[in-house]
Amino acid sequence: MKVALLTTNDWGNWGYELSESLKSINIDATMYIKKVHPLGYPKHGVLVKDNISLNSMVKDADIIHFLHSRYIPEIDLRSKKVFVSHTGSNYRQDPEKLNKIFNPIVEACELPGSFLRLGAKNPYWIGGAVNLSNLTPKYDTNNKLVVGHFQSGEKGTSRIMSVTDKFKSRLDVRIPNEKLPWIENMDRVKDCDIYIEKLIGESNGTSALEAAALGDIVITKYIHKEQYEKHIGKLGIHIANSEKELENKLEWLLTLSKEEIIELKKESRKWIIDCHSYESVGKRYLNMYKGKR
């Protein structure tokens, strides 16, 4: 089986990590992109200059997998199995339009829980992968618990700050305006005990997975817990769907002992190993390619 993964801009390096997940279970997979992500990931997909060149590069693939809802009309799909991942704002803004493009040509669609009932053909929820070898956890806690929130887009930051401002005397709150390259950003995420991802949306993004892999206790907005656990496994983040819930979550964490905090940090890492490691994600994608549930 040979898989070609295609998009223009690979947001969150999501497609590259998918290609590595498939390689981890001995599938020949290559990620192709047209733009290098501005966060400067150390490794990324193969950069191609135009769609005509891309078509010639993927002619031997058995599977064409479009990512981030980006259709590339120059690709010859004859004799190919075709799949698509709908992962973000493109699909959220106009699912009907994208369903008309992709549903007639794909075997199945991969998407998060918030999109499962928007009309995509044969939907699967698989989830993103992270490279555990690049993300070594830190379990020891700081004398004063460090809470971080690092912006990479609209995350409800002002709402988060309205809560964390109340804790500045008891927590080391770090919410800088500066956006850093990926490697430097991971260093500051690793320094945290608690990582607040966002207070908008319906489920976690890549940054929550990375923070959990680094041993942070992750808090985010999440309204699809039951569906996640049906499709993927036990959810390993802490849910706060409002400012009040976030405040209550931080108050609760402040009641815990150092040993209890360390145990929660270890549970975060275990969640990623069990549900979002290369091998676990690769196996779920292989099931989709084979039409299995």
Instruction: Tell me the pLDDT tens digit for each residue of 118-169.
Output: 999 999 999 999 999 999 999 999 889 999 999 877 899 999 999 999 999 9
The pLDDT score that the predictor gives to residue 179 is 87
According to DSSP, the residues that pair with 85 across neighbouring strands are 110
CATH of 132-275, one of 3.40.50.80, 1.10.287.70, 3.40.50.2000, 3.30.950.10: 3.40.50.2000
Which part of the chain is CATH 3.40.50.2000?
A: 2-129+278-290, 132-275
173 forms beta bridges with: 147
The answer to whether 145 and 171 have CB atoms below 8 angstroms apart is yes
Return the H-helix or E-strand segment holding 21.
helix 14-24
**pLDDT tier at 279 (50, 70, 90 boundaries)?**
very high
Mean pLDDT of 35-41: 78
The model's pLDDT over 194-252, given as tens digits with 9 standing for 90+, comes to: 999 999 988 888 899 999 999 999 999 999 999 999 999 999 999 999 999 999 999 99
DSSP character for 223?
A: S
What average pLDDT does this structure show over 1-26?
94
Q: Which CATH superfamily is domain 2-129+278-290 in?
A: Glycogen Phosphorylase B; (3.40.50.2000)
Beta bridge partners of 64: 4, 82
